[in-house]
Structures are given as structure tokens and as C-alpha cells.
Amino acid sequence: MDDNQDTSSVVDRTRLVEAGALVVGTYFLDRTAVFALGEEALLFVAAEGETRRVEVHGGGILSVASDGARIVTGGDDGKVISTDAKGARRTIFVDHKGRWIDSVATAPDGATAWSAGKTVFMQADMNEPKSLDLPSSAGGLAFAPKGGGVAVAHYGGVSLWFPNLQHKPEILQWKGSHHNVAYSPDGKFLVASMLEPMLRGWRLADTKHMRMSGYSTRVRSLGWTADGKWLATAGSEQLVMWPFQSREGPMGKRPRMFGTSAARVNVVACHPKQEVVACGYADGWILLVRVDHCAEEVVRKADGTPVSSMAWDESGKSLAFGTEGGLAGVIDLASFVV
């Protein structure tokens, strides 16, 4: 990447907002960007310019997810709270044991899953939540693309839990501590990050496992391109993309790499419609990678503050980002991504 590359036109299209705290999650509710802050609140930044802060927790926000209609947060106050686009809040759950809410996940049908210590909960249709006890704390949660099932990452592997069925969860076993977990869009593969600098994956048809390594640090951010052909990952000094075009997935194949830099990629965000990936670096760079054309475009220059989260709006024309230093921004990319 060339630090002298002219980004003045993009800077002119970037709206910056002082968030006042570490941004731990970034989402869009329609055209409004929503930034989850490390302490207590959500910051709403409307496309028309209005900003408002909504207090949601009595302490730190530890986990956050969104289904496009609401933001679900888990806090160190033991609460799971849903907040809609108008800022209206609803308490989904209160842990009376005082446990932190370490992970949350949402499904398109409105279901919600969360973890507190060694227990995972799932609630659908405003019914009483169902629970699953684990031998160790949950490291991450993800709903299956077609709903119904929840993948739970933990020490020793990933459990595939179907709360509406009576049988025990299927366990995809592998030694070590598993964290971020994600289904491929077609539901054929499951990938989880490790405490070590690597990923583990499984082909769900036959539970054939795969190992994806070569990272310089733990992979804290990953995402699938809109067509499901590529898995974009952070955790190295370049964007690392694993191929999932065939039944074998990345087994026996090398990844493609883009955007080599002296700083690591902290977070990735895949465009909702195209083979475009936004990469946020530890020095503040934000780079767009057009996978199909092997093209790279800088949309934010480095300022020394790590990018901590990013999200595209539904149209793919706006990219929101937050930083560890408490800065939030929305970039108008209508003329860059067509």
C-alpha cells in the first residue's frame, strides 16, 4: 500500500464522529449506523446527520450482534438487551447469578442466543429460553443459515446444538480453545478461530476437518464474501482469503493474499453483494480489496489508532467503522463500489 496515494475525495465523503469510547461493534439499522461502545451505550449516527447516544447497560458491553432490525448486546451487568432503530430497548434476559454475557448471536427469524459462563441460551418467538450446559465456557456462537441450530465454540471443539430437538448436540472435536465461529452461507462448512494463530474448519456433510494456519496472531475477525466463495480473515499483515468454491473447500489449496502492510489486519467486512472486502488495520488504514479484479483502493489513511470494527450498509454504498481510540466514521462509497 502506498501512503502517498491520494484519498482526498474519500476523505471528503467521510463523516467523523467522536464516540468517546472504544468501539466494540459496528452495524447498520437501515441507513443509520450504530456503534456499540465499550462502556454502557450505543451511538446512533443517522444518514441525515443526527447523532444520539442510548444507554443500554450498567457497565461494559462485552458482546454484540445484529439481525438488521435490532442490536443485541450482552454486558458485564449480566443482561441481554435488544435495541431497535428508534432506540427502544427491551431486556431479553437477566442472569441472576451475576455472570457476564460473553457471547451473543442473532438469526434472521428473530431468534437470539447468548452465553453466560458455561451455559448457552436460545430464545425464539418470545418463548422461555432453552439452555445447554457445557464443560467449559462458550467462546463464540453462530446460528445456522437456515435457522434452528446454533454452533457453540468452546474448549475441545464446536457443538452443534438444535434446541428444538431432544438429542444431544453433535460435537466437532479438536483439541484447543475455539472462539469466533461462522457457517458458510450455504451451510456446508463451519469455521472457528483458535486461541492459537490458526483456524479450524469442518465440512459438515462428513465432518471432515481442515486446518488453516500461517497467521502472525490470533484471528479475531472473519467473514464470507456474498457468494460464499471466499473466507476473508484478519490476523496477519495482509488480508488472507481462503477458497471455498469446491466441495473440498480450502483443503490442499493456498489462500490468496492482498494488502500487505507493516501493520496487521484487525478487522474485515465483506460487501453484501460483491466480491469486495474492507480491511481495517492496526495503524488505522482502511483498504478496499476487489477480489475479482485483484484491485486495492485505500479509503482511509493511517492515523496510528487501530480500527476495531466495520460494517457495510445493506446497499453496499456506505461503510461504517470504529476505532480503539473512540473515533467513529461513515464513508460514502457509492462512487467506488458499483
pLDDT at 12: 72
| pLDDT at 250 exceeding the cut of 70 | yes
Q: Residue 319: which pLDDT band, with cuts at 50, 70 and 90?
A: very high
pLDDT at 336: 73
Does 275 fall in a domain? yes
Q: State how many domains the chain has.
A: 1
Does 131 fall in a domain? yes
Residue range 98-121: mean pLDDT, rounded: 95
Does 37 fall in a domain? yes
User: What mean pLDDT is reported for the chain?
Assistant: 93
Q: Which helix (H) or strand (E) holds 82?
A: strand 79-84
Does 195 fall in a domain? yes
Instruction: Assign 303 to helix, strand or coil.
Output: coil
Range of the domain at 171: 8-332
Would you report the helix, strand and coil content of the chain in percent, each value rounded to 5?
0, 55, 45
Q: 114-118, 122-126, 172-176, 209-213: lowest mean pLDDT where?
A: 122-126
Span 151-161, pLDDT tens digits: 999 999 999 99
Number of other residues whose CB lies within 10 A of the CB of residue 230: 22
Does 337 fall in a domain? no
Q: Which three cell numbers stand for residue 213?
A: 494456519
Does 3 fall in a domain? no
Does 186 fall in a domain? yes
Sheet containing 51-66: which strands, arranged edge to edge?
23-29, 32-37, 39-45, 51-66, 70-75, 79-84, 89-94
Sheet containing 130-133: which strands, arranged edge to edge?
101-106, 112-116, 119-123, 130-133
Q: Which helix (H) or strand (E) holds 129?
A: none
Domain at 70, CATH number: 2.130.10.10
Does 1 fall in a domain? no
Span 129-154, pLDDT tens digits: 999 999 899 999 999 998 789 999 99
pLDDT at 8: 55
Q: CA of 2: how far to CAs of 40, 277, 328, in Å?
A: 38, 18, 24
